[in-house]
Structure 1
Amino acid sequence: MRLTVAAFSGTILGFFLGILFPTLSLTKINLQSSLFPSIGLAYVEDKYSEFSTKSIRDALTSLAGNRRSKSNGFDTLDNTKIWVPTNPRGAERLPAGIVKSKSDFYLRRLWGLPQKDPSFKPKYLVTFTVGYDQKDNINAAVKKFSENFTIMLFHYDGRVSEWDRFKWSKRAIHISARKQTKWWYAKRFLNPHIVAPYDYIFIWDEDLGTKHFDAEEYLKLVRKYDLEISQPGLDPSSSYNWQMTKKKEHGEVHKDAKERDGWCSSAQLPPCAAFVEIMAPVFSRDAWRCVWHMIQNDLIHGWGLDFALRKCVKTPHKKIGVVDTQWVLHQSVPTLGNQGQADGKRAPWEGVRERCHKEWAMFQERMANAEREYFQEMEIFPFNFSIDI
C-alpha cells in the first residue's frame, strides 16, 4: 500500500513539474535552503535556438526575485509601484535613472555601439518651411549656416526626394505635410523637450535673401546684447510693414524705433519696442520654451503672435531686438498663398489672407480672455485693464 501511494504521488508530482517547465531541460540545478523561492541555475540548456541561455537564466532569476517579493508581503508585478514625483508627468512609475525626458534631432548610425557614434553635436537649429520652387534661394541660405547648425526643412508641397540634388540635404531633417504653415510644423515638431540641446532656434521663411548674412556672426551679436528674441534687420529695399524691423544704418543692434503717430500706446511696447516679426525670428532656448506653449494648436498662420512674444521675456524692451549689421532681404514671394483653394471668383491667396486676419483677431481675443480670467482668479483688478497685442 505504501509503495502504491508513493508511486502515485510521484507520478502526480512529476506531472505538475512537467506543466510548470514544458520547454526547459534543466541539466543541473543547485538547491539552496528550499526549492522555492531560491532556485539557483548553474546551467540551462535551451530547447529552442531563438532563446539564449542567458536570457532564460535572467528570466528565471527575475521570477525567483518576484517570488521572494511575494514572500515578503509584496506583489512586485501587480501592486508595488515605483513612485517618483519628480519624474515627468506620466513617468512616475519608472525608476528615475531610466527616465530620458529630452530628445534631439541628432542623426544616429544603424550600426556600431551607441557610445561610439560621432560625438560632434550641433549647437543651433535652423528651420525653413519650403516648396521646391524656392530651392535655389534655400540652397543659398543654407550655406550661410555653419556645421554648428542642424538644418531642418518643412515641406508644404510634398516634394522631398528632389532636394537630394544638394549635398547638404543628405544631412538635413526633412518633414513633409502638404499645405501647412511653419507654425503648424513648429507646434508639432519643435517641442521644447526635443529642441532642448540647441542654444538658439531659427524659424525662418523661404523667401529671405541672405547675401549680407552670416549666422555665426549674427549669434555673436545676439550674445553681446543679451537678446532672447531677435531677428536680422530688413534691407531697406524689402517689403516691410514696421519701422522696428527695418535695418538701421548706424550701430550693431537696435531695440526700439519711431513708429507712425498713434501706432504705439507706449514707447516700450510693440511695434515701437519689444517687437520682431514672424518671418525670421530667432529664439533662445528659454524664450522658445514659453513661445511654444503660447502657439495655439489650431491657429496656424501666426498672425498676432509677434505682438505677444514680449510676454515670454523679462524686460522685453531690453531683451528683444533687431541685428542691423547682419541683415536679410524679404523678397515677399507669395508661395504659401498659392497653396490655398480657389473659391468662386476668388484667387487661392485671397482665402489664405482672409484666414490670416481672422486668426489674428481670434488670438487677440483668446489672450485677452485668458489674462482677464487670471486676474479675476487672483483677485487682481488692474486699473483700466487692456491688452496690447
Structure 2
Amino acid sequence: MKKNCVLTTIGASSLHRQWIKKKSSFDLHLIVYDDSYELFKNDSPYVTASKGYKFKLIYNYLCNNPELIEQYDYFYMPDDDISITTTNIQKLFRYMKKYQLAVAQPAIANSFYSYQHTTKYKDSILRHTNFVEIMQPCFSRDALKKVLFTFDETISGWGIDFHWGIILNYTEYNMAIIDDIDSIHTRPVQSNHHQELSEYMKKYNLSFDIYSS
C-alpha cells in the first residue's frame, strides 16, 4: 500500500500526466471537473467526475471516501496547470516527513505567481512561513483533518489558505515553502473572487500579513 497521494481536480488541459511519467511511489486521485472524463479515465485506478471548484470537490471526495484520510501520510493537491516531475513530487513527500511539516508547497520557478514569497529563493532549501497557497498545498494526515472543514467554507477556496496557519499553529515552524523543489505555474492567475476572500477574512478575523524565513 502506498503511503502518499496526489489528490486534485483536473480538466481537459491538465498536466497531471507529467506527474506520473516515471514510476511513482504515490497514488494519484483525480476528480474530473469538466467533460474530459473519457480522456483521462484510464490514467489512474482512482478517477471520478464531478462539476465544481477544486476544494469543494476534494472535500466531498474525502467525505465520501473517509478511509482515504487514514490510508495516506501525506496529500499533495496541485492545480492541474502545475508542471512538476514525478521525482520532485516524491522529494516533496520526503521533505514533509524529514522536517515534520504540517503543510508545505514547492516553490514556483517562473513568473506566474500570486504571492512573492512562494517563488524560488536561490541558495535556500526551505523557508518556514505562515502561509501556503491553495495553488499546491501538501498536507500531513493530521493537518488535513484539522483544516478539512475550510474546504467547504467557500465556493472558490479563496481565503482558506490564510486560515490554515492559524489552525495549524504556524509558530511551531511546521509550514514551509520548499525551494529545493521546482514547480512551474504554466498559466497566469485568472480567477477573481475578491469579495469571497474579503468575507472569509472578516468571518474569522484573519490577517493578510505573510512572512517567510
**Is the shorter-chain TM-score for this pair beyond 0.5, marking a shared fold?**
yes
Residue 131 (1) aligns with residue 11 (2): yes
Secondary structure of the 2:124 match is coil
Q: Tell me by how many angstroms 1:291 deviates.
A: 0.7
SS of alignment partner, residue 214 of structure 1? helix
Residue 71 of structure 2 is matched in structure 1 by 197
The correspondence for 1:243, drawn from 109, 116, 125, is 116
Deviation at 1:296, TM superposition (A): 3.2
1:362 partner amino acid: E
Size of the alignment, in residue pairs?
206
Do structure 1's residue 283 and structure 2's residue 149 form an aligned pair?
no
Q: Which runs of 5+ in 2 are unaligned?
A: 209-213
Q: Does 1:364 align with 2:195?
A: no
TM-score normalised by L of structure 1: 0.49
TM normalised by structure 2 equals 0.86
Question: Does residue 307 of structure 1 match 2:162?
Answer: yes
Q: 1:234 corresponds to which residue?
A: 108
Q: Secondary structure at the match of 2:196?
A: helix
Report the AA paired with residue 214 of structure 1: N
The separation in 2 between residues aligned to 1:145 and 1:202, in whole angstroms, is 17
Unaligned runs of 5+ in 1: 1-120, 256-272, 338-351, 369-386
- Note the C-alpha offset of 1:228: 0.8
CA distance 1:149–1:201, shift in 2 (3 Å): same
Q: 1:102-145, CA deviations, whole angstroms, 9 ceiling, x for partnerless residues? A: xxxxxxxxxxxxxxxxxxx12112123111233xx221123367
Question: Are 2:23 and 1:150 aligned?
Answer: no
**Paired residue secondary structure (1:185):** helix
Greater relative contact order (Cα < 8 A, sep 6+):
2
Question: 1-side partners of 2:125 and 2:86: how far apart?
Answer: 14
Q: How far apart, CA to CA, are the structure 2 residues paired with 1:315 and 1:276?
A: 10
Q: Name the structure with the higher strand share.
A: 2
- Return the alpha-carbon distance in structure 1 between the equivalents of residues 32 and 137 of structure 2: 19
User: Judging changes above 3 Å, is the alpha-carbon distance between structure 1 residues 211 and 174 closer, same or farther for their aligned structure 2 residues?
Assistant: closer
Q: 1:332 corresponds to which residue?
A: 187
Q: Tell me the distance in 1 between the aligned counterparts of 2:188 and 2:48.
A: 22
For 1:217 and 1:149, the matched residues in 2 are separated by: 11
Q: 2:54 maps to which residue?
A: 182
Looking at structure 1, the residues matched to 170 and 13 of structure 2 have their Cα atoms a distance apart, in angstroms, of: 41
Q: Which residue in the other structure is 2:211 paired with?
A: none
1:1-389 aligned within 5 A:
121-134=1-14, 137-143=15-21, 146=24, 148-164=25-41, 169=43, 171-178=44-51, 180-191=52-63, 193-194=66-67, 195-211=69-85, 214-235=88-109, 237-255=110-128, 273-297=129-153, 299-316=154-171, 318-332=173-187, 353=192, 356-368=193-205, 387-389=206-208
Counterpart amino acid of residue 155 in structure 1: V
Look up the SS of the partner of 1:248 in the other structure.
coil
Distance 2:176 2:23 in 1: 21
Change (3 A) 1:211 1:289: closer
Rounded to whole Å, the distance in 2 between the matches of 1:145 and 1:323 is: 23
Q: Residue in 2 aligned with 1:110?
A: none
Please report the RMSD computed on the Cα atoms of aligned residues, expressed in angstroms.
Answer: 2.3
CA distance in 1, matches of 2:151, 2:162: 12
User: 4+ residue stretches of structure 1 with deviation over 4 A?
Assistant: none
* Counterparts in 2 of 1:296 and 1:162: CA distance versus 1, 3 Å: closer
Distance 2:29 2:86 in 1: 22
Change (3 A) 1:144 1:205: farther
Partner Cα separation in structure 2 for residue 234 and residue 212 of structure 1: 16
| Whole-angstrom distance in 2 between the partners of 1:144 and 1:314 | 36
Please say if residues 96 and 140 of structure 2, whose CA atoms lie closer than 8 Å, have aligned partners that are also in contact: no
Counterpart residue identity of residue 202, structure 2: E
